[in-house]
Amino acid sequence: MIDYTVIEEEGNIRAAFNYSDSYFEIVITDVSEEEIQNYIKTEAENMYASMQYMYELENQNNGDSE
Amino acid sequence: MSDIPTSGMISINQMHTEAGGNSGTACTLNDADIRGLINKSSGAAMNFGEWYGASNSIDTQSLVVGTITPNATYTGTYIGATQSGQHSASSAGTWSTGSMSDGTCNFKSGAYYRGLYWQSTYTYSSDTKAHLNIAGSHSNSGWTSLNTGTGTTLTRSSMSYATNSFFNTTTWQKTNPPAFYTSSMVGQTKTVTFQ
Q: Closest to B74 (Cβ–Cβ): which among A47, A49, A61?
A: A49
Spatial distance between the Cα atoms of A2 and A7, rounded to a whole number of angstroms: 16
Q: pLDDT above 90 covers what percent of chain B?
A: 67
Lowest mean per-residue pLDDT among B48-57, B65-74, B126-135: B48-57
**What pLDDT is attached to residue B63?**
98
Cβ within 8 Å of residue B161, ≥6 positions away? A14, A24, A25, B140, B170, B171, B172, B173
Question: Which of A29, A46, A61, A62 to mutate: most B Cβ within 10 Å?
Answer: A46
Helix (H), strand (E) at residue A44: helix A33-65
Helix (H), strand (E) at residue B35: helix B32-35
Contact A14 B160 (CB under 8 A): yes
Distance from CA of A37 to the nearest CA of B (A): 15
* Secondary structure class of B65 (helix, strand, coil): coil
Average pLDDT over residues B105-116: 95
Q: Could you tell me if B70 lies within 8 Å of chain A, comparing CB atoms?
A: yes
Nearest to B102 by CA among B194, B166, B181: B194
Q: Closest to B160 (Cβ–Cβ): which among A10, A43, A55?
A: A43
pLDDT over threshold 50, residue B85: yes
pLDDT over threshold 80, residue B96: yes
Lowest mean per-residue pLDDT among A8-22, A44-58, B66-80, B121-135: A44-58
Question: Could you tell me whether strands B104-105 and B99-101 are parallel, antiparallel, or unpaired per DSSP bridges?
Answer: unpaired
Q: Could you tell me if B168 lies within 8 Å of chain A, comparing CB atoms?
A: no
pLDDT over threshold 90, residue B50: no
Nearest to B173 by CA among B131, B128, B145, B138: B131
Spell out which residues of chain B touch residue A63, defining contact as CB-CB under 8 Å: none
Spell out which residues of chain A touch residue B85, defining contact as CB-CB under 8 Å: 58
Give first-to-last CA distance, chain A, whole Å: 44
All structural domains of chain B with their residue ranges: 12-51, 59-194
Q: How many CB atoms within 10 Å of residue B49?
A: 7
Contact A50 B164 (CB under 8 A): no
Which residues numbered 100-129 in B keep a CB inside 8 Å of some CB on A? 114-115, 119, 124-125, 129
**What pLDDT is attached to residue A60?**
66
Instruction: Report whether A21 contacts B164 (CB < 8 A).
Output: yes
Q: Report phi then psi at A63, rounded to 5.
A: -65, -35
pLDDT over threshold 60, residue A66: no
Q: Could you tell me if B84 lies within 8 Å of chain A, comparing CB atoms?
A: yes
**What pLDDT is attached to residue A65?**
45
* Secondary structure class of B43 (helix, strand, coil): coil
Q: Report phi then psi at B185, rounded to 5.
A: -95, -5
Nearest to B114 by CA among B128, B93, B130, B129: B93
| Cβ pairs A/B, distance under 8 A | 93
* Secondary structure class of A12 (helix, strand, coil): strand
Average pLDDT over residues B62-69: 97
Q: Report phi then psi at B24, rounded to 5.
A: 85, 0
Q: Could you tell me if A44 lies within 8 Å of chain B, comparing CB atoms?
A: yes
